[in-house]
Amino acid sequence: MIGGREEDGRLLVTLTGKIDSFNAPEVERKLMALYREHPCESVELDCDKLAYCTSAGLRIILRMKQKVNQTVLVNVHPELYDILDMTGFTEMMEVRKAYRVFSVEGCEVIGEGANGKVYRVASDTIVKVYLKPNALPEIHRERELARLAFVAGVPTAIPYDVVRIEGGGYGSVFEMLNAVSLAEVLAHGEKTVDEAAEISIRLLKLIHSREPHSKILPDMRAVALKWVNFLKDYLPSDLSGKLTGLISAVPEDAHLVHGDYHLNNIMLQNGESLLIDMDTLCHGHPVFELGAMYNAYVGFGLVDSGKQMSFFGISRTDCLSFWRRSLELYLDTGDAGLVNAVEEKAAIIGIAHLMSREIRHGGLTREDGRAMIEACRGILAELLPRVDTLLF
């Protein structure tokens, strides 16, 4: 009938069966007992297994809302939602409909990142499945970031639905008619490295030209300083101090930065380039973007050169060529000296993030992880003494 637990500062209550005038007093007694045991500032009432609810049950919900303003109903089935809508509950409190259930078994994986995988479930539909089981806050945040980018003039796909994934977890659904990733196009030989780099950098320059000035966008410099602060225990003090100084000296910048810009996150649809995977969207100097790109095309293959083939479907040699050509196009120069200098700045940012990430994910306990951490430490030891600014 009712059960609950505290999670992440919220009281999560599960309502099951039915609530009517006969059992309403007992339901309310148990609900209030749960609240006294877990006096949280927000309450989430899960109605997924609630088959029936009379006006007596609705009054219990209303009294809970009066006691805890941040009370929400989730997984509400259509029939109950209609009742709540007719009685005005949807205007008084947040009511979330039950999510459709999607299966991705046997579906093609067309992209993969740190936070999830992207599946093609039909010719016109893709689903991003999040790795974190309770990813709803991240999903809703990414939707808001996608809307922000779209309004700012960045061509992107906005998810039109949130679904539960059969077997566990949640996903965002996008309409992408016959869209393919730029990685697929390059891997199948439909575009050359130069042609793919031109498409990528044209879109990247558009992204970096936008300044939406939104409070929901993280400051990439502040994020990078967290990586550096974490690395203080893993780097010599002179290198750690130099790294902190370089990043701190990067000025504030309101321009958009995608934060995870690579071939798998650029979709081609009817001749148009679309940006996906918006959960890393932020603002900052473009050196932070180039640092993430350095990792995608260079850093992640430092120890295992086959990683790029499994991730992008192209060889490490092609990844390195693509990265180099992308830098030339972004900087609008063929000057090898200038390109080398900017590559070193990007490498410092990227390797600092890569080293921090590897340690946080247990790399010190694995042979391949220790090899990656040592490779990162070596690159920072080589570059930091001779780089005096990250600006270009």
The pLDDT, as a whole number, for residue 122 is 84
pLDDT for 255-287, tens place per residue? 999 999 999 999 998 889 999 889 899 999 999
- Indicate the burial class of 304 (C-beta count within 10 angstroms; 0-12, 13-18, 19 or more): middle
- Between 73 and 174, name the one with better pLDDT: 73
* Domain-wise residue ranges, the chain: 2-97, 102-175, 180-386
Tokens 């939104």 correspond to: 214
What is the homologous superfamily of the domain 102-175 according to CATH? Phosphorylase Kinase; domain 1 (3.30.200.20)
C-alpha distances (whole Å) from 315 to each of 152, 187, 319 are 35, 9, 6
The fold adopted by the segment(s) 2-97 is: Transcription Regulator spoIIAA (3.30.750)
Q: Mean pLDDT: which of 116-125, 304-313, 370-379 is highest?
A: 370-379
What pLDDT, on the 0 to 100 scale, is given for residue 390? 98
Give the integer Cα–Cα distance in Å for 278 and 146. Answer: 6
**Rounded CA gap, 25 and 3, in Å?**
15
53 vs 96: CA distance, rounded Å? 16
Average pLDDT, the chain: 92
Residue 334 CA to residue 127 CA, distance in Å, equals 40
120-177: per-residue pLDDT in tens? 888 788 899 998 888 888 888 888 999 999 999 999 988 888 888 998 889 999 887 6
Given pLDDT bands bounded at 50, 70 and 90, which one contains residue 84?
confident
Percent of the residues in the chain that have a pLDDT greater than 90, as a whole number: 71
Tell me the CATH number for domain 180-386. 3.90.1200
Residue type, 44: E
